[in-house]
Amino acid sequence: MTIRTIATMIFLLAVTGGSAEAGVLKGGTWTPTGCGTEPTPPAINASSPAAYDASIKQANAYQTAAKQYEDCYFKEAQADSNAINAASQDHQHELQAAYDKLAADAKAGADRLKKKQ
């Protein structure tokens, strides 16, 4: 791991509030790991005024919980996206440095051989 990669990871931890959670990609579907279970919307029961009032209270509670879940979901998704992009860029820089070194070594070797002739 390069110093740049480590610095990028420290930066991302600072930006994401230190969250070490990362989502899981399985079968082409990404899911967050730090947001708990996604809330399930309740059914509206209009069989009586009391049942209706109770189901509206459940619906309001669901909306609050769903908003919290959604906020967490997108925050975690953004953090994962940033980490993936940073790692990809770091890897590209590392590969480019390896290619540059290889080219420089090959040129230096060719120059040495030319001098011996």
Centre a 10 Å sphere on the Cβ of residue 80 and count the other Cβ atoms it contains.
20
Q: Is residue 35 part of a domain?
A: no
Q: In the chain, how long is the greatest CA-to-CA distance?
A: 101
Residue 26 in any domain: the answer is no
55 part of a folded domain:
yes
Is there a domain that residue 42 lies in? no
pTM: 0.63
> Does position 16 have pLDDT exceeding 50, yes or no?
no
Q: Which amino acid is at 29?
A: T
The answer to whether residue 74 sits within a structural domain is yes
Number of domains in the chain: 1
pLDDT in tens, 32-64: 999 999 999 999 999 999 999 999 999 999 999
